[in-house]
Each structure stands twice: as C-alpha cells, then as structure tokens.
Amino acid sequence: MRTAVIRINLNPAGDLAADRLSAVVQELRDSGLEVIAPDFGKVPAHAREIELLLPGDDAEALSAWAQARCTAALGMPGPVAGTATFLSRGTDEDALGVVRQFGITADLTRIWENGEEIAVFTISRADARRVPESRLHTALEAALNCEVRIVFSLSPCSRVRCHAVMMTLWSSTVTG
C-alpha cells in the first residue's frame, strides 16, 4: 500500500498557543497516527503545519479524513488540509501508483544490466499519446531511484507477452 503525506495547517489564523497545538499532535500520535510536527514555538503562527503519514492511494479522500480528524482532535473548526504527496520506498507498488496518478496503466518488469537495476514500463500507444513521456519518465525515476525505460505496445500488455518483450530487449543489450 502506498503512503500518503497529508499536510494540515492546524491553525491558519495563528491564534492558538504552541502548547495547545503540541497537545493535539500528542493526541493524534496516541491514537496511532504517524505525525511529523515542528517545534510550534519556532515557526510562524500562521504556518503551523503538520504532516500525517497515511496508507492509501486516494489523496482527496485521505486529505478530507485527515482534516476531519485534526478538527476533532483540536475540538474546534480550523485545520486546513494542504498539499498531499506520496512517499516512495522504490517498490513496484509505488511505481505503479505513480503511473496511475497519470491516469494510465503499465506493466513493470525489472532487469539487471551491467550490475545496475533497470525498471522497464510497458504502456500502450493509446496511453502514450495522453501523457508526456518526459514527465512520466522523471516521476518514475524519482519514485524508484533507478534507471527507467518506457516501451510501447500496440495494446495493453499481458504479463507473459511483456516478459517476452523484456527478455528480447535484455538479450539484445547483452549480446549487442
């Protein structure tokens, strides 16, 4: 499962004391949530933002849930959800989650070449026309921290056919 990082400004008005906000963070942690928080006394009052690390893929639903949970912990309206991003641990699931964020599907095969891992994504030509390849490539490299290759198929790939394509690619790079 992917891990979302949901940013929440606990008190955009900046009118609550730092110790009150620290108590909210402790309550969230005590309930089992993973929370990253600054020393509230050292950041501007209007920018007291925390990060909740939550499992899931749906950034919008997770943001709404996190905002509601922080509102409940604070005991009053005020917290505002900000930007949602996702952690990447370099797993296949993380990489395929990036692909899904672009609104497409792909098959992923990992190969080794000259001692380096390479992640090869096979996407259909139809999907390739809808997504800028350079943006997809950059996002995947950032998520995986390894070389990424994108190959195209005429139709959505089946695992067996994609594996055959990848073995052909691999053997041509080793022998060629």
CATH superfamily of 92-175: K homology (KH) domain (3.30.300.20)
Place of tokens 């056919």: 161
| pLDDT for position 89 | 86
| Token pair belonging to 26 | 């402790």
Per-residue pLDDT of the chain (176 residues; tens, 9 = 90+): 789 999 999 999 999 999 999 999 999 999 999 999 999 999 999 889 999 999 998 999 999 999 999 999 999 989 999 989 998 888 898 899 999 989 999 999 999 999 999 999 999 999 989 999 999 999 999 999 899 999 998 765 555 555 555 555 544 454 45
H-state helical runs in 76-132: 92-101, 125-130
Domain ranges within the chain, ordered by starting residue: 3-87, 92-175
DSSP notation for 14-82: --S-HHHHHHHHHHHHHTT-EEE---GGGS-GGG-EEEEEEE-S-HHHHHHHHHHHHHHHHTSS--EEE
- d(CA 149, CA 72) in angstroms, rounded, equals 46
Q: How many CB atoms lie within 10 A of CB 84?
A: 19
| C-alpha of 57 from chain center | 8
Nearest to 2 by CA among 92, 137, 107: 92
**pTM of the full predicted structure?**
0.71
Specify the CATH number for 3-87; select among 3.30.70, 3.40.50, 1.10.357, 2.60.40.
3.30.70
